[in-house]
Amino acid sequence: MFRILFYQPEIPPNTGNAIRLAANTGSELHLVEPLGFNFEDKQLKRAGLDYHDLARVTVHKSLEDAWSVLLPAPVYAFSATATRMYTDVAYEPGAVLMFGPESAGLPASVQHSPEITERLKLPMLSTSRSLNLANTAAIAVYEAWRQHGFTH
């Protein structure tokens, strides 16, 4: 359906929650190394519960490796610095929803690379710095899926 791309994720429970999200929505989860954890991490396993076997998860050695698998699909990079809202896009099946590492978000060089179709943001209070990675991914995936009538 949709493909979630975490670029260099750092916090195990966020990725565990994304595994659960992918399993429950029929999405794929793609992770770009380096990862801030390994798949034996207890927090990752706990957050993903028993969904690990139900999710399609692919780990890529580099962003270039991920692009070779994911393109030519549209790629939506989520960033607090973007100006266009995530609800202003008509997502097509197979679209890539890309998110950066928890500590810094997507680097500008990635956000502005030619592979990116559009930079998107979720609204939040002006006094806030960022949303949780797993929560942001869930909001984006459910909006894309909603636009398709929650069909699989």
Tell me the DSSP string of 62-119: SHHHHHHHHTTS-EEEE-TT--EEGGGS---TT-EEEE--TTT-S-HHHHTSTT--EE
Binding region:
100, 122, 130
Tokens found for residue 66: 């991920």
Binding region for S-adenosyl-L-methionine:
100, 122, 130
Of the candidates 81, 97, 88, 85, the residue with the CA atom closest to the CA atom of residue 129: 81
Q: Distances from the Cα of 83 to the Cαs of 79, 80, 86, 87, 88, in angstroms?
A: 9, 8, 10, 12, 11
- d(C-alpha 22, C-alpha 58), whole Å: 12
